[in-house]
């Protein structure tokens, strides 16, 4: 006997967007990040209204933060340039050194056995502990900050690249040897492209760490920069400008991560 309850076909599931119900509707699909950001904005505004009498100075309304951001924009732009002069050299040098060293170490037996255990011990050490020593050791604050950014970004790039290079199937190297490729050509034309997905994963982690270390370094002795902007107005209890600086720094970090993601998609065009 056939059941009197009609069965749902594939067409009905496709129309609903998800076999499990309304959560899969395409109305929300692709907008989750925007909705979450909107929820944070509403939450902040709600807290600002509820605590206006007691803690209003700590939670300035969005209109006040927006005005402070607009007024501070020239100073923030100058701070962005100052920060980029530290971030860009340290991070780019870390990318070049991390990718090159990761490939060479992972494909050279004795180097791998000698260096990787050392790297696994040193890499987890928080790079922030190097800041006071780097400032004392290196003549200029900018040089010390570039060094700290480099150290923080280097290790995730190096370790991810080394893992990617070590995971390249041995038959790829055997085929390169059969074709008569030199070791350098094998590394450049075979190992490097195959390990790039891992390298970009390390670059993303390294970039986020670079921004963190840049901001922390600027708190120690910089006279300009995004981290210095936030610290300066926090010291004077100008919380609207402080919050504006935090929001602006978050936007700059997001923009940098988006640029890296676009570069990744163009470089890894064969990965889908």
Question: Average model confidence (pLDDT) for the chain?
Answer: 81
- Cβ contact 159:123 at 8 Å: yes
Total Cβ atoms within 10 A of residue 256: 18
Distance CA 51, CA 56 (A): 5
pLDDT (0 to 100) of residue 17: 46
The DSSP result for 173-219, as a single string, is HHHHHHTT--HHHHIIIIIHHHHHHHHHHHHHHHHHHHHHHHHHHHH
Which pLDDT band, with edges at 50, 70 and 90, does 213 fall under?
Answer: confident
Helix/strand/coil percent split, the chain, to 5 = 80, 0, 20
pLDDT (0 to 100) of residue 53: 67
- Cβ contact 83:143 at 8 Å: no
Where would I find the beta strands (DSSP E) of the chain?
Answer: none
Q: Tell me if residue 6 falls in helix, strand or coil.
A: coil
Domain with CATH 1.10.3720.10 in the chain: 61-267
Cα 120 to chain centroid distance, Å, stands at 21
User: Which of 225, 22, 219, 217 has the alpha carbon at shortest distance from 128?
Assistant: 217
Average pLDDT, integer, range 83-105 = 93
Identify the residue with better confidence: 65 or 103.
103
Q: What does the pLDDT look like over 229-238, one tens digit per residue?
A: 888 888 888 8
Q: What does the pLDDT look like over 116-173, one tens digit per residue?
A: 888 888 888 888 787 777 777 887 778 888 888 999 899 999 999 999 988 888 888 8
Exposed / middle / buried, residue 242 (Cβ in 10 Å: 0-12, 13-18, 19+):
buried
Token output for 53: 């009498």
pLDDT (0 to 100) of residue 14: 44
Q: What is the pTM of this model?
A: 0.79
Superfamily for 61-267? MetI-like (1.10.3720.10)
């Amino acid at each position: 006997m056939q059941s009197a309850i009609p069965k749902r076909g594939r067409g009905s599931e496709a129309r609903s967007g998800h076999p499990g119900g309304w959560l899969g509707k395409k109305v929300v699909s692709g907008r989750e990040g925007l909705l979450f950001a909107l929820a944070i904005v509403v939450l902040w505004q709600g807290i600002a209204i509820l605590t206006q009498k007691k803690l209003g100075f700590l939670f300035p309304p969005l209109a006040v933060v927006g005005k402070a951001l607009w007024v501070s924009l020239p100073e923030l732009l100058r701070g962005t340039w100052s920060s980029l002069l530290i971030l860009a050299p340290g991070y780019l040098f870390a990318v070049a050194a991390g990718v090159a060293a990761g490939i060479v170490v992972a494909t050279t037996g004795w180097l791998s056995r000698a260096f990787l255990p050392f790297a696994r011990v040193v890499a987890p050490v928080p790079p922030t502990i190097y800041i006071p020593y780097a400032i004392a050791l290196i003549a200029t604050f900018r040089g010390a900050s570039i060094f700290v950014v480099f150290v923080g970004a280097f290790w995730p790039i190096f370790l991810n690249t080394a893992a990617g290079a070590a995971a390249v199937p041995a038959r790829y190297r055997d085929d390169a040897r059969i074709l008569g490729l030199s070791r350098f050509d094998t590394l450049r034309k075979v190992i490097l492209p195959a390990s790039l997905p891992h390298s970009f994963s390390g670059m993303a982690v390294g970039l986020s760490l670079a921004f963190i270390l840049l901001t922390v370094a600027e708190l120690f002795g910089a006279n300009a920069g995004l981290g210095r902007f936030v610290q300066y107005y926090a010291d004077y209890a100008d919380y609207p400008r402080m919050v504006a600086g935090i929001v602006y720094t978050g936007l700059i970090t997001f923009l940098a991560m988006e640029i890296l993601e676009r570069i990744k998609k163009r470089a890894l065009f064969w990965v889908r």
